[in-house]
Amino acid sequence: MLNKRNKSSAKNTRRRIYTIPKGMGTLERPFPAKRMIKVVTTSDGSVQAAAAGFVVIEARLADPTNAGFSGGTGAFSVNSTGIADMTAYALARVQSIVLECTGTNLDTGAVVAFNFIFSDVQPSTVITTYALAKAAQTSYLHTPIRKLAIASGNSSFKIPPVRVTPRQVIGDIMPTTDRDFVTVVNPSHTAPSQEWWVALVCTSVASGTNLTNGMDVNITLTQDVEAFSRLVGT
């Protein structure tokens, strides 16, 4: 009897799975509902503070269409690839990022300490003094601090690639589920209402020594972006 009941139960289970209700046709999806895209943004320029011993340059991480670094008194050239691959989709969510950086010290008298920090608050709005910059280099989620000799010394450096997820920065699953972390990319751009940030924080090792010439850097930011919500007519 036990075996007969088991067989009957299995038969009913199969019937529930494979029976199509009357009146329901077949649904087809000829185009993928979502797609993972790599957006690579390169920022090349000078990390300078004309009259201060610290400088903060930063980039948005939740918005793949606006991920170039800026800040300080130096200028940056920004170039992005991969954004055009999202043209068939309306929305985008950044799932993770990889950062790497190379550069050299241009100052002849300032030994520089520097590292990347990550935050859900725009770094430049809270790091406003030399003391706060020094504290930020160790109090946020950060890469190890490196120190760079003056221009006439061993002044070239490389920060190896580091991978970060929004959940590590925010400390919550919201960036992967909340609509506020989604960027509208098409048909017109709208930035997400919530952000997560990365900043390169540089400080002179000797307090009171300005970073007038600063550092020349090249930063590559690779974002793993989930593009979704197919646009009608594309």
Backbone dihedral angles phi then psi of residue 116, each to the nearest 5 degrees? -90, 140
Q: How many CB atoms lie within 10 A of CB 147?
A: 13
Residue 78's pLDDT is 98
Per-residue model confidence as pLDDT tens digits over 205-228: 998 899 999 999 999 999 999 999
Share of the chain above pLDDT 90, in %: 78
User: Mind listing the domains of the chain with CATH numbers?
Assistant: 33-230 (2.60.120.20)
Q: Which residues contact 210 (CB under 8 A, 6 or more apart)?
A: 49, 50, 51, 52, 53, 110, 204
Token representation of residue 107: 């100052």
Identity of residue 120: D
Q: Rounded to whole angstroms, how far apart are CA atoms 130 and 162? A: 26
Mean pLDDT of all residues belonging to the chain: 90
Mean pLDDT of all residues in 127-137: 97
pTM given for the model: 0.84
